[in-house]
Amino acid sequence: MIPVTSTHWRKAAASSGNGNNCVEVGISSTSVGIRDTKNRHGGTLTVGHATFGALLTAIKNDRLH
C-alpha cells in the first residue's frame, strides 16, 4: 500500500467540482495507488507502473467491456 502521507494524490481535472465523486491516483517510485474520493480511508488498490499504464491504454482504446 502507498502511504497517503508520502504520496501526492491527483484526480482528473474534468471531475466534479465538489471533489467527492471521482477516483484519485497516487504515484510512488514503485507503484500506483487508486482510491475512491467518497471513502479515502476505505482502501487503496495498488498496482505496478506497467499495470497502470496497461489499464490507461485499455481505457483510451475502449477495450474494457
Whether residue 53 lies inside any domain: the answer is yes
pLDDT in tens, 50-60: 999 999 999 99
Whether residue 65 lies inside any domain: the answer is no
Q: pTM score > 0.95 for this model? A: no
What percent of the residues of the chain are helix, what percent strand, and what percent coil, each to the nearest 5? 30, 25, 50
Q: How many domains does the chain have?
A: 1
Range of the domain at 32: 4-60
Whether residue 11 lies inside any domain: the answer is yes
Q: Rounded distance, CA 13 to CA 50, Å?
A: 23
Set of cell numbers at residue 40: 479515502
Q: What angle do CA 11, 33, 52 make, to 5 degrees?
A: 90
- pLDDT > 60? residue 4: no
Band (pLDDT 50/70/90 cuts) for residue 63 is very high
